[in-house]
Amino acid sequence: MKDNIFVKFKSSLVFESFVAFFFQFSGMGILYLLIIFITKRIGVSEYGEFVIFLLVSKGLSILFTFGLDGFGVNRFIELSINNERSFLFAKKGVELILLIITITSGIVVILYYFNLTVKGIDFSTILYSILYAIPFSIIKFLIQFIRAKKKTGKYSFFEHFFIPFISILIIVFMHFFLGMSISIAEIQIILISVAFLELILVFRIFRKLDIFKEQNEMESVKVIVSNSLPFFVPAILIFASINLNSLFINFQLSKTEVAVYDIAFKITQLLGLPLMALNVVIAPKFSQLYISGKKNELFKLWSKTVVIGTCGFLPFFIIFMIYPELPIKLFINDTVIGEPVLKILLVGQLINVISGSVGMLLQMTSNEKIFLKITFISVVLNILLNITLIPKFGLIGSAYSNLLSFSLINILSIIFMIIINKKWQQS
């Protein structure tokens, strides 16, 4: 009897959600440990170099996948429902990714051959970023098949946990057990190697789960591209809105200041975890209420996200506004430069938290185009502010750019949601 109860619980949505949550935030925790290791054992400036490597890799992976990860999950679900094999679609998708990788790599080589380099990013960083983005991009696409098969635990394991966990194990073994000194280049090589290992494992799981005998109709690359494009544009905008500040700091200041800003930003991200966790759970509820026509309950549910998110954030906000050196000391010894940056970013996160899941509410009520336009306006504002403020005020200017641009997203989202709600009330 107990075994039956356990089996039912294990197969339940609650259990799957818990497993997904565990892997997502454990992976984030491991990343924070890696940051501490780099800043304390290697150097703050070297961590700034590592940040640029990760940002370039992430940007390239978004370019390489071209929205296939977003479209892929829908297509894989459709093939599964029709009892058709997914191999041909996966094959076409991977071929498209490899084509984009080849074109992009060729352009990069030509640019560097003619010394048309990007300020603050050397060729070795670009090379390592491409090598890391190649397996990472294909993984992002193929794991959508695992997601479509409702293997939420496995999906979260490979999406958030595998690479940081295996990488930190290797780094700890090499440094603490073998007594080796680890450089940033060696950490990058470790990440690249682990990413290729993950790609092999994901492909084996794909072949194991793709059990249907019936082959689907010939997949058209043109159709795949046209369906992926609507997912590509939002991904680029979201990436830009989150990461542009670090890139502008790298262009106009130094790697040390990139590191300080990134650490302050990651501290505010960590404090925003309650709202992030809430968004995972609340998104399907918003969608269900909207589809069911229970639009009056949507605002009530949104108000609850405001209360829960604020209650989880406010105590830490007060403590860290009074003692900003406390969290910064975990990563760097000189906290003076980071304290004002952290305070400004904390105010931005406070505005984000007291706005609740308003962005998610817009996206889950067929208003994703409005949210996309709001994000675009915010990105443009962020670019202009970074160009204007960083030369005059340094890191403080970049922090204010973040505060104003992210606040704009939340304020405009709330305004549009109030207008939409009034239309619902009148209809």
How confident is the model over 255-266, as pLDDT tens digits? Answer: 889 899 989 998
Distance CA 140, CA 94 (A): 11
Give the mean model confidence (pLDDT) for residues 215-229.
71
Q: Which two tokens stand for residue 214?
A: 């019936």
With beta carbons less than 8 A apart as the criterion, state whether 121 and 250 touch: yes
pLDDT at residue number 212: 56
Query: For residue range 325-342, what is the model confidence (pLDDT) as tens digits?
Result: 888 888 887 777 888 999
Distance CA 370, CA 174 (A): 49
Q: For residue 123, what are the contacts with CB-CB under 8 A and spacing of at least 6?
A: 112, 117
Give the mean model confidence (pLDDT) for residues 204-227.
70
Q: Which two tokens stand for residue 156?
A: 């979260």
More confident residue, 383 or 216: 383
Q: Per-domain residue ranges for the chain?
A: 2-222, 253-426
pTM of the predicted protein model: 0.82
Distance CA 406, CA 379 (A): 9
Does the pLDDT of residue 167 top 90, yes or no?
yes
Does the pLDDT of residue 365 top 90, yes or no?
no
Distance CA 311, CA 318 (A): 12
For the chain, the first-to-last Cα distance in angstroms comes to 51
Query: For residue range 169-206, what is the model confidence (pLDDT) as tens digits?
Result: 999 999 988 888 899 999 999 999 999 999 999 888 88
With beta carbons less than 8 A apart as the criterion, state whether 224 and 93 touch: yes
Query: For residue range 69-112, what is the model confidence (pLDDT) as tens digits?
Result: 877 777 777 777 777 777 778 888 888 899 999 998 888 888 87
More confident residue, 365 or 379: 379
Backbone φ, ψ for residue 83 (5° rounding): 55, 40
Alpha carbon separation from 5 to 12, 151, 257 (Å, rounded): 10, 20, 53
The single residue listed with the structure tokens 């992030």 is 276
pLDDT at residue number 280: 61
Amino acid at 194: V
pLDDT at residue number 399: 92
What does the DSSP assignment read for 77-133? HHHHHTT---HHHHHHHHHHHHHHHHHHHHHHHHHHHTT-PPTT--HHHHHHHHHHH
